[in-house]
């Protein structure tokens, strides 16, 4: 029995619910794709300021940790060793530096983003929806176990993420050929627990549209909000600068009070 024949034998209600399920899967995957694009656009717009602010924040964190280190040493009645302090603080800063590295890589990646025209977006979505109804792992359980279909689905997903219409058109032919070669008995639509599946995907969709990075889109669609966030980040930078000077003064007072020269500086 072919897939389409299998669908035809289902009650109208179940077939309608299956169509709704397929639509929801496509909607969810489209939203996930949009999230990737939104995150890249957000990083491209605000990335430099975010990195500058984060770097200054790290200097503040480093100074706070240095102050804390000095106070712990003094409370134990010991003398402050600047080299030991720097070594201890550097170890604690490792995770923050990794985060900074990730931010810089994301910014570089965002600089290579290209705008995809509306036609290609629409065309890729239509092809992806058709292929989803055939070999999406949540629809066709055999995709997980059949190496050929699993490979084709991975290629479909990648092409869809990049709105590569040419690849999707080619893959549509390959998918149909693969299903024909595998025969009628090889694939049955997985529709057990359909209501639960629909509810699960609906919950996922609601979670996506109410959290980052999707909510960034509200900012990116408004010049006023873009300018407002740029101004907010500039003010944040100034606040960090003021706080940094306060921390430097506090650390210098600790060191000078214990006979240590303050000609050294933090990296």
Mean pLDDT calculated for residue range 69-76: 92
- pLDDT higher than threshold 70 for residue 31: yes
Looking at residue 115, its pLDDT comes to 62
Q: Which two tokens stand for residue 214?
A: 């999707």
Cβ(207)–Cβ(24) below 8 Å: no
Cβ(80)–Cβ(73) below 8 Å: yes
Query: Cα(122)–Cα(125) distance, rounded to whole angstroms?
Result: 5
Mean pLDDT calculated for residue range 4-24: 64
Tally DSSP H helices, then E strands, for the chain: 10, 0
Cβ(188)–Cβ(4) below 8 Å: no
* pLDDT: which is higher, 185 or 196: 196
List residues bridging with 189 in a β-sheet.
140
pLDDT tens column, 118-149: 777 788 888 998 898 889 888 888 888 889 99
Mean pLDDT calculated for residue range 80-97: 93
Cβ(240)–Cβ(246) below 8 Å: no
Average pLDDT, the chain: 85
What is the residue extent of each domain of the chain?
3-189+198-256
- pLDDT higher than threshold 80 for residue 200: yes
């Amino acid at each position: 029995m072919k897939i389409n024949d299998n669908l035809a034998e289902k009650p109208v209600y179940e077939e309608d619910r299956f169509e709704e399920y397929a639509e929801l899967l496509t909607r969810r995957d489209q939203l996930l794709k949009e999230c990737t694009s939104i995150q890249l656009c957000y990083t491209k717009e605000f990335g430099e300021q975010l990195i500058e602010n984060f770097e200054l924040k790290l200097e503040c964190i480093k100074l706070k940790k240095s102050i804390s280190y000095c106070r712990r040493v003094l409370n134990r009645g010991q003398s402050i060793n600047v080299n030991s302090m720097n070594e201890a603080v550097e170890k604690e800063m490792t995770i923050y530096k990794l985060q900074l590295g990730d931010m810089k890589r994301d910014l570089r990646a965002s600089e290579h983003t290209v705008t995809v025209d509306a036609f290609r977006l629409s065309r890729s979505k239509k092809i992806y929806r058709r292929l989803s109804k055939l070999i999406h792992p949540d629809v066709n359980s055999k995709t997980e176990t059949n190496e050929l279909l699993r490979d084709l689905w991975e290629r479909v997903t990648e092409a869809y993420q990049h709105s590569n219409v040419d690849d999707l058109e080619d893959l549509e032919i390959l998918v149909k050929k693969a299903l024909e070669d595998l025969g009628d008995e090889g694939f049955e639509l997985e529709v057990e627990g359909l209501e639960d599946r629909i509810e699960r995907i609906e919950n996922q969709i609601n979670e996506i549209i109410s959290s980052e990075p999707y909510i960034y889109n509200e900012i990116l669609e408004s010049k006023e909000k873009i300018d407002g966030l740029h101004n907010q980040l500039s003010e944040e930078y100034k606040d960090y600068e003021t706080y940094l000077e306060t921390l430097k003064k506090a650390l210098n007072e600790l060191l000078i009070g214990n006979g240590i020269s303050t000609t050294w500086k933090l990296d």
